[in-house]
Amino acid sequence: MKRIAIVGGGISGLSAAFALERSRKDDAPLEYVLYESSSRLGGVLTTEDVDGCLIEAGPDSFLTEKPWASDLCREIGLGDQLIGSNDTDRKTYILVKGRLVVIPDGLMFMVPTKIIPAVLSPLFSARTKLRMAREWFHPPRKAESDESVASMVERHYGAEMVERLADPLLSGVYGGEADQLSVRAVLPRFAEMEAKYGSLGRAMLAARGKMARARKGPARPLFTSLKDGMQQMVDVLLSRLPASALRTNAPVLSIQPQAGGWMVSAGHGSDQFDAVVLATPAQAAASLLRVANAQLASELQAIQYTSSITINLGYDQSVRSLLPPGFGFLVPRTEGRRILAATFVHNKFPHRAPDDRALIRCFVGGAGNEHVLELADDELLRIARDELRQIIGLTAEPLFTRVYRWKDAMAQYGVGHLERLQRIENLLAGLSGLALAGNGYRGIGVPDCIRSGSDAATKLLAKLGLADEKLPTTA
Ligand SMILES: Cc1cc2nc3c(=O)[nH]c(=O)nc-3n(C[C@H](O)[C@H](O)[C@H](O)COP(=O)(O)OP(=O)(O)OC[C@H]3O[C@@H](n4cnc5c(N)ncnc54)[C@H](O)[C@@H]3O)c2cc1C
């Protein structure tokens, strides 16, 4: 009988557990234990039902084009619960000099693919519009080394594109800053597109044409979620795992290589395993590995995280008609606000709020704003309401509010991240029976985390001779 420990019970650890469970059900001689330091499983995936509204404390959805989350949902019987974003109403605004300006049609992430809407948009100055036209003729360029997203976007479209689009978009996804994040790790397709086509605009059009030709059936929604919220995935996953394998309130304090396996110490006792999946944030993995391999620990420690707070405000139906149509807005740093973004939740997805309610979710925090975690809920609510009043003229009294704090939850892939992952791979190769999973490595979104957990489990099963390794070796 082989024994595997999983440390961390977020979606990455649960996906690893599910992959092991699949193998166990197929009669692999295997047992596993998942250790989670907090009292609940699921990590940042938490949904709360308040006054008939579904409030997502953490992620509200995942990108449809990344298949691993939808695949897992189908496998656990949630295929008919998957819902798409209301893309017919998809409109997002950017706050520019205190006014909301809609992101023009044809902008793919921050790359303009339709000339007329971009030229007519008040989002860009004449100078940036000229840069957009010139970008079309950008010569192919194979970068010798990594650079920041800001540096690449600025080379193509100028500084205004970074300030008004790249930075707010990345701050919405990563809680990070465009001048810190690695283009190769965060937007790998941009680096490939530049090498092949030169112009990101032409490359994006070519990719879109290829996708349209390959696609059978209607266009898919940009985002996918679950009817009862993201926690539905966690709840059903848990129902597929044996309760005896899951330990909550069980922080792992150390892991040490020992006699061909690993000794895992958690609270009251220690236990021997043949292999370990570390599915915690990278910095927690670093502290657990300090004794086993100080160099690996210091590489993991260098992966930075930022914190984020979601502030949810529920209103009566009258607020719906006061809001601009669409999914919400993003706030560039130069606007000097605390809110980074706001989502009009009732517009973005069906099944989130009854017709007589409106639900708004604001984000604060992100890189350089750690101090907001110290603010009391009342103060955070005051800031959110004040800024909503100034930005969209919303003065209504909320019917309910919820504030969720996520300390050090968003990994920041800094310039050179992929090279760091390579060094981590090399160091891991010297530690038998250890695999890493989680949002610190090859994707911060829920689908990537699911894939990372499942890959880590498959890799260890192969090492233990319990499965074929079909996957590329990744951290
Ligand atoms: C506010 C917010 C909004 C987001 N929105 C989206 C979105 O819309 N779409 C999307 O795709 N992604 C989104 N993300 C990102 C995504 O949700 C996360 O990257 C992903 O869920 C992380 O999962 P994880 O299991 O790797 O980590 P976590 O969920 O952080 O889980 C790690 C677990 O490890 C446990 N742990 C740590 N140390 C120990 C220890 N020593 N012993 C035992 N247990 C330990 C922790 O308690 C935690 O439960 C969002 C994230 C946040 C915070």
In contact, 2 and 272? CB cutoff 8 Å? no
Q: Relative to the CA of 445, which ligand 1 atom is closest?
A: 11
Of 85, 446, 450, best ligand 1 pocket probe by most atoms within 8 Å of the beta carbon: 446
Say whether pLDDT at 470 is over 70: no
Of 44, 225, 312, best ligand 1 pocket probe by most atoms within 8 Å of the beta carbon: 44
Ligand 1 centroid from CA 22, angstroms: 23
Q: What pLDDT does residue 474 have?
A: 45
Q: What pLDDT does residue 473 have?
A: 43
Say whether pLDDT at 174 is over 70: yes
Q: What pLDDT does residue 277 have?
A: 98
Tell me the three state secondary structure of residue 82. strand
Ligand 1 centroid from CA 115, angstroms: 39
Residue nearest to atom 10 of ligand 1 (CA): 445
* Mean of pLDDT values over 451-458: 98
Residue 73, C-beta contacts closer than 8 angstroms, at least 6 positions apart: 79, 81, 82, 226, 233
Residue 399, C-beta contacts closer than 8 angstroms, at least 6 positions apart: 51, 314, 315, 316, 357
In contact, 313 and 385? CB cutoff 8 Å? yes
Q: How does the average pLDDT of the chain come out, rounded? A: 94
Q: Relative to the CA of 60, which ligand 1 atom is closest?
A: 8
Question: Comparing 365 with 286, which gets the higher pLDDT?
Answer: 286
Q: Which two tokens stand for residue 367?
A: 């890189």
Say whether pLDDT at 338 is over 50: yes
Q: Relative to the CA of 252, which ligand 1 atom is closest?
A: 42
H or E element at residue 329: strand 328-330
In contact, 255 and 33? CB cutoff 8 Å? no
Residue 94, C-beta contacts closer than 8 angstroms, at least 6 positions apart: 100, 101, 103, 123, 164, 165, 168, 329, 330, 331, 332
Q: What pLDDT does residue 142 have?
A: 85
Say whether pLDDT at 372 is over 60: yes
Q: Relative to the CA of 69, which ligand 1 atom is closest?
A: 11
Residue 181: closest CA among 191, 194, 192: 191
393: left (phi over 0), alpha (psi -120 to 50) or beta: left
Ligand 1 centroid from CA 13, angstroms: 10
In contact, 278 and 475? CB cutoff 8 Å? no
Q: Relative to the CA of 41, which ligand 1 atom is closest?
A: 49
Ligand 1 centroid from CA 401, angstroms: 23
Say whether pLDDT at 233 is over 60: yes
pLDDT above 90 coverage of the chain, percent: 85
DSSP string, 212-251: HHH--SSPPPSEEEETT-THHHHHHHHHTS-GGGEESS--
Rounded distance between C-alpha atoms, residue 464 and residue 4, angstroms:
10
User: How far is CA 140 from each of CA 137, 192, 401, rounded to the nearest angstrom?
Assistant: 9, 10, 50
Say whether pLDDT at 384 is over 90: yes
* Mean of pLDDT values over 175-198: 93
Q: Relative to the CA of 447, which ligand 1 atom is closest?
A: 11
Q: What is the largest CA-CA distance in the chain?
A: 68
User: Which pTM value belongs to this model?
Assistant: 0.95
Residue 37, C-beta contacts closer than 8 angstroms, at least 6 positions apart: 249, 250, 251, 252
Distance separating the N- and C-terminal Cα atoms of the chain: 26
- The pLDDT tens digits for 68-126 are 999 999 999 999 999 999 888 789 999 999 999 999 998 888 898 888 999 999 999 99
* Mean of pLDDT values over 206-222: 79
Residue nearest to atom 52 of ligand 1 (CA): 58
Provide the sign of the torsion angle of the four alpha carbons 149, 150, 152, 156, taken in this order. Answer: positive
Provide the sign of the torsion angle of the four alpha carbons 192, 196, 200, 203, taken in this order. Answer: negative
H or E element at residue 402: strand 400-412
Q: Relative to the CA of 404, which ligand 1 atom is closest?
A: 1
Q: Which two tokens stand for residue 108?
A: 């793919």
Residue 1: closest CA among 279, 275, 277, 263: 275
Q: What pLDDT does residue 469 have?
A: 63
Lowest mean pLDDT, pick from 22-26, 176-180, 209-213, 263-267: 209-213
**Full strand arrangement of the beta sheet holding 252-258:** 252-258, 261-266, 269-273
Q: What pLDDT does residue 166 have?
A: 93
Q: Which two tokens stand for residue 114?
A: 């339709």
Residue 325: closest CA among 96, 85, 103, 90: 90
Range list of H helices, 86-226: 115-120, 126-135, 149-157, 159-161, 167-174, 183-186, 188-197, 200-214
* Mean of pLDDT values over 227-236: 98
Facing residues of 83 across strands?
A: 225
Q: What pLDDT does residue 471 have?
A: 54
User: How far is CA 129 from each of CA 85, 134, 157, 337, rounded to the nearest angstrom?
Assistant: 30, 9, 8, 26
User: How far is CA 306 from each of CA 13, 371, 372, 411, rounded to the nearest angstrom?
Assistant: 21, 11, 12, 7
Say whether pLDDT at 362 is over 70: yes
Number of H helices, E strands in the chain: 17, 22
Pocket of ligand 1 (CB under 6 A): 7-13, 35-38, 43-45, 58-62, 251-252, 279-281, 284, 308, 310, 406, 409-410, 438-439, 444-446, 449
Ligand 1 centroid from CA 12, angstroms: 8
